[in-house]
Amino acid sequence: MITRILPLLRNPATRRKWLVLGSAALIGAGLVVRWGFGAIDLWAALMVAAAVLAGADIAWRALQALRIHHLSIELLVTIAAIGALIIGEYWEAAAVTFLFMLGAWLEARTLRQTRGALADLLKAAPQLATVIRDGQPVEVAASAVRPGETVLVRAGQRIPVDGEVMEGNAAVSEAAITGEPIPAEKAPGARVYAGTIAENGLLRIRATGVGADTTLARIIRRVEEAQEERAPSQRMIERFAQWYTPAIMVLALGAWVVTQDVRLALTLMVVACPGALVISTPVSIIAGIGRAARSGILIKGGQHLENAGRIDMLALDKTGTLTEGRPSLVEVLPLAGIDRAELLHWAAIAESGSDHPLGRPIVAAARAEAEIPPPEAVEELAGMGLVVRHAGRRIAAGNRRLFDRLGIAFDAAAEAALTGLLARGRTPVIVALDGRAVGILGLSDQPRPSAAPAIARLREAGIQRIAMLTGDQPQAARAIAADLDIDEVHAGLMPEDKLRLIRAFQAEGRHVAMIGDGINDAPALAAADTSIAMGAAGSDVAIEAADIALMANDLGKLPEAVAISRATLSNMRQNLVIALLTVAGLLAGVFSGDIHMAEGMLVHQLSVLVVILNGMRLLRRPRALRKRGARERGNMAAKERTSPVDA
- Residue at a domain's end among 561, 587, 608: 561
Amino acid at 642: T
Is the pLDDT at 261 greater than 50, yes or no? Answer: yes
Interval 67-79: pLDDT, tens: 887 778 888 889 8
Q: Which residues of 242-276 are buried (b: 16+ CB within 10 A; e: fewer)?
A: eebbeebbeebeebbeeeeebbbbbbbbbbbbbbb
Q: Which residues of 146-176 are buried (b: 16+ CB within 10 A; e: fewer)?
A: eeebbbbbeeebbbbbbbebeebebebbbbb
CA distance 93 to 253: 19
Q: Are residues 152 and 117 in the same domain?
A: no
3-state helix, strand, coil split of the chain in percent (to 5) is 60, 15, 25
Interval 433-452: pLDDT, tens: 888 888 999 888 888 888 89
Interval 118-162: pLDDT, tens: 666 667 778 888 998 888 888 888 888 888 999 999 888 889 999
Is the pLDDT at 373 greater than 80, yes or no? Answer: yes
The total number of structural domains in the chain stands at 4
CA distance 347 to 329: 12
Q: CA torsion sign, 452 to 454 to 455 to 459?
A: positive
Q: Are residues 184 and 140 in the same domain?
A: yes
Determine the pLDDT at residue 221: 78
Does residue 401 fall inside a structural domain?
yes
Is the pLDDT at 522 greater than 90, yes or no? Answer: no
Helix segments in 295-399, DSSP class H: 302-309, 340-351, 359-367
Average pLDDT over residues 64-89: 85
CA distance 400 to 384: 8
Does residue 490 fall inside a structural domain?
yes
Q: Are residues 437 and 464 in the same domain?
A: no
Q: If you compute the radius of gyration of the chain from its CA atoms, what whole number of angstroms results?
A: 32
CA distance 31 to 602: 18
Average pLDDT over residues 536-564: 77
Average pLDDT over residues 495-521: 85
DSSP-based three-state secondary structure for 563? helix
Neighbour tally for 462: CB within 10 Å: 10
Q: Are residues 431 and 365 in the same domain?
A: yes
Average pLDDT over residues 535-561: 75
Q: Are residues 5 and 116 in the same domain?
A: yes
The overall average pLDDT reported for the chain is 83
Provide the residue range defining the domain that includes 381: 326-446
Q: Is the pTM of this model over 0.85?
A: no
Q: Are residues 9 and 107 in the same domain?
A: yes
Q: Are residues 316 and 452 in the same domain?
A: yes
Does residue 604 fall inside a structural domain?
no
Is the pLDDT at 297 greater than 60, yes or no? Answer: yes
Q: Are residues 101 and 198 in the same domain?
A: no
Determine the pLDDT at residue 466: 94
Report DSSP letters for 163-225, one per residue: EEEEE--EEEE-HHHH---SPEEE-TT-EE-TT-EE-SS-EEEEEEE-GGGSHHHHHHHHHHH
CB 221 within 8 A of CB 211: no
Does residue 229 fall inside a structural domain?
no
Q: Are residues 426 and 501 in the same domain?
A: no
How many Å is the maximal CA-CA distance in the chain? 115
Catalytic choice (120, 213, 261, 317)? 317
In Å, how far are 77, 450, 495, 557 from 625, measured between CA atoms?
43, 15, 35, 11
Determine the pLDDT at residue 5: 60
Nearest Cα to Cα of residue 514 among 368, 314, 376, 358? 314
Interval 390-435: pLDDT, tens: 888 899 998 888 888 888 888 888 888 888 888 787 888 899 988 8
Interval 325-346: pLDDT, tens: 778 888 889 887 788 888 899 9
CATH classification at residue 192:
2.70.150.10
Confidence of residue 571 (pLDDT cuts 50, 70, 90): very high
Average pLDDT over residues 93-117: 76
Neighbour tally for 615: CB within 10 Å: 27
CB 285 within 8 A of CB 568: yes
Q: Which residues of 496-515 are buried (b: 16+ CB within 10 A; e: fewer)?
A: ebbbebbeebeeeebbbbbb
Q: Are residues 396 and 504 in the same domain?
A: no
CA distance 346 to 353: 12
Neighbour tally for 137: CB within 10 Å: 12
Could you tell me the end-to-end alpha-carbon distance of the chain, in angstroms, rounded to an integer?
78
Q: Are residues 451 and 303 in the same domain?
A: yes
CATH classification at residue 364:
3.40.1110.10
Q: Where is pLDDT greater, at 468 or 519?
A: 468
Interval 586-631: pLDDT, tens: 888 888 877 777 788 888 878 888 888 898 888 876 555 655 555 5
Does residue 612 fall inside a structural domain?
no
Determine the pLDDT at residue 503: 93
Q: Are residues 439 and 456 in the same domain?
A: no
Confidence of residue 259 (pLDDT cuts 50, 70, 90): confident
Does residue 594 fall inside a structural domain?
no
Determine the pLDDT at residue 122: 67
CATH classification at residue 504:
3.40.50.1000
Determine the pLDDT at residue 215: 82
Determine the pLDDT at residue 45: 94
Is the pLDDT at 523 greater than 90, yes or no? Answer: no
| H helix or E strand, kind and range, residue 152 | strand 150-153
Nearest Cα to Cα of residue 429 among 488, 379, 374, 476? 476
> Any catalytic annotation for residue 317?
yes
- Residue at a domain's end among 561, 588, 623: 561
Does residue 412 fall inside a structural domain?
yes
CB 234 within 8 A of CB 284: no
- Residue at a domain's end among 198, 213, 228: 213
Determine the pLDDT at residue 490: 93
Does residue 495 fall inside a structural domain?
yes
Determine the pLDDT at residue 374: 86
Determine the pLDDT at residue 467: 94
Determine the pLDDT at residue 640: 47
In the chain, % of residues over pLDDT 90: 13
Interval 154-183: pLDDT, tens: 888 889 999 999 988 888 888 777 766 667
Confidence of residue 117 (pLDDT cuts 50, 70, 90): low
CA distance 234 to 227: 12
Confidence of residue 196 (pLDDT cuts 50, 70, 90): confident
